[in-house]
Every structure is written in structure tokens, then in C-alpha cells.
Amino acid sequence: MHCPFCQFADSRVVDSRTSDDGQSIRRRRQCPRCGRRFSTSETASLTVLKRSGVAEPFSRDKVIAGVRKACQGRPVTADQLARLAQQVEESVRTAGRAEVDAHDVGVAVLAPLRELDEVAYLRYASVYQAFDSLEDFEAAIALLRAEHQVSGTVSGTVSEAPAPAAEREQPAARG
Ligand SMILES: [Zn+2]
């Protein structure tokens, strides 16, 4: 591995440790020429299979690019998006497979995005899950409301929020 400081073509490992979750190895290296130290991180490569059949390496940047549009105009910071991409990567890596479908990556986005911003979540879900009617939105919103009620009974911080609007009607049965 080249030294990132002086570009010397070799470096020496001085320390190596596995991360707490066992999914990466971090190495401290020292350059024998300039003596400076730097770290490298080694993780199993993770391949994403797109619907077209194309395989490409998992990329947090691509996750962020996919979510950013849904977050337009919403109070979501770049840091929060970076954190979300990290959560998505952790969640797809937890499955322990070397290859995942692009669909699975999309599924892994839903939960952390819902935590971050429900409007962005609905936008993302509407594209990702191909909502094609108002009923699809109503069903998704009804689910969010139902979960607010559940979490309100568990979490003290949520219970101070105003009660959700009374359920006026059940979502119309479809089909
Ligand atoms: Zn060096």
C-alpha cells in the first residue's frame, strides 16, 4: 500500500484490529521512508445487483443521491444523509451476503428515512414502491399514524406531541 504522504510504494502494518461488529478490520500502517502513520480499513466487498442485471459495488453516495431528491425542501442535513447511508450499509451488510439486490437496498432506506423525515419518507416510498393512487398514500399515512400511536405509548418524548387527528374513516377497501 502506497504511503499517502510521500507516495512511497510500501508500508508496514503496526497494528491491526477488528471492529466491534466484526465487519471490518482497521490497520495502522507506518511508512518506512517518511515514518508517518496512517490507517486503512478493510471490509468485505458488497455488490449490488440492479434490476437490469448490472452488478456494481455498493456505494453510500448512490444511496444519498437516491434519497436526496425526496428530501428536497425538507430540513434534512448532509450529515443526516451521511448517517442514513451508513445505517443502510450496516443494515444490508448485517445480512452477511456478498451480493444484494438493489431492491433490498431500497427497502433498507425506508426505516431510517422514516425516522429522519416522514414527508421525505412518503415521497421516497411513493416512487420506490410505485404508489399509483391517492389510496396508496392514504394507506401509507394511516400506517405512520398507527405507528405514532404505538410509539406514543412507549416513548415519553413522543407523548407530548398533539394527538393524531381522529380517524375519520377507514381507508376504502381496494379492488
Ligand atoms: Zn511516506
Band of pLDDT at residue 62, cut at 50, 70 and 90: very high
| Average pLDDT of the residues of the chain | 85
- Using the mean position of ligand 1's atoms as its centre, give its distance from the Cα of residue 165 in Å: 63
- Using the mean position of ligand 1's atoms as its centre, give its distance from the Cα of residue 20 in Å: 29
Separation between Cα atoms, residue 157 and residue 163, nearest integer Å = 13
Residues with CB under 5 A from ligand 1 (ion): 3, 5-6, 8, 31, 33-34
Q: Please give the pLDDT value at position 156.
A: 44
Separation between Cα atoms, residue 108 and residue 66, nearest integer Å = 12
Q: Kindly give the interhelix angle for 102-116 and 60-68, rounded to the nearest 10 degrees.
A: 60
- Using the mean position of ligand 1's atoms as its centre, give its distance from the Cα of residue 3 in Å: 5
Residue 158 in this model has a pLDDT that exceeds 50: no
Separation between Cα atoms, residue 25 and residue 17, nearest integer Å = 6
- Using the mean position of ligand 1's atoms as its centre, give its distance from the Cα of residue 31 in Å: 5
Q: Please give the pLDDT value at position 159.
A: 43
- Using the mean position of ligand 1's atoms as its centre, give its distance from the Cα of residue 23 in Å: 28
- Using the mean position of ligand 1's atoms as its centre, give its distance from the Cα of residue 109 in Å: 40
* 48 membership: H or E segment, kind and range: strand 47-49
Which grid cell sits at 175? Answer: 379492488
- Using the mean position of ligand 1's atoms as its centre, give its distance from the Cα of residue 12 in Å: 11
